[in-house]
Amino acid sequence: MAFDEKAAERVRRALGRRRGITEKKMMGALCFMASGTMCCGVTGAALMVRVGADGFARALARPHVRPLRIGRRAAGGFVLVDPPGYRSAAALARWIEHGLAVAQKIRTETANRPATKRRRRDR
């Protein structure tokens, strides 16, 4: 599925001149990465937002929000917001800020996780 270029441009403007933001086309969508961690994107006309596992149910309770599906499975931690749900600049900014906060939390948790050692199997 292609992405809506007008919606993508709105996201670009909302992200402004933030440091560490990159764009990456994946699976027909345009994803926005904050320091290498996906925070939001555009697929079709929908805004794709990383809400995290703990914010998933709360996000789905909001109007114009549905789960992101990859094949037949819901991609936990990500939602799609249909255009009426991010029509205003303020609504778009709130969704993007939420995605950025979740991405930051994930980066922090990953950085603080102790490295695991692989055990060698005796043969």
pLDDT value at residue 112:
73
* Burial of residue 9 (number of CB atoms within 10 Å: 0-12, 13-18, 19+): exposed
Q: Which tens digits make up the pLDDT trace of 49-104?
A: 999 999 999 999 999 999 998 888 888 899 999 999 999 999 999 999 999 999 99
> Given this model, what pLDDT does residue 110 score?
78
Q: How far apart are CA 42 and CA 121, in angstroms?
A: 45
Degrees to nearest 5, angle at CA 53 with 108 and 62: 120
Q: State in Å, rounded, how far the first CA of the chain is from the last one.
A: 48
Q: Where are the domains of the chain?
A: 5-112
- Its CATH class, for the domain covering 5-112, is alpha beta
Summarised one tens digit per residue, pLDDT across range 5-33 is 999 999 999 999 899 999 999 888 999 99
pLDDT at 15: 96
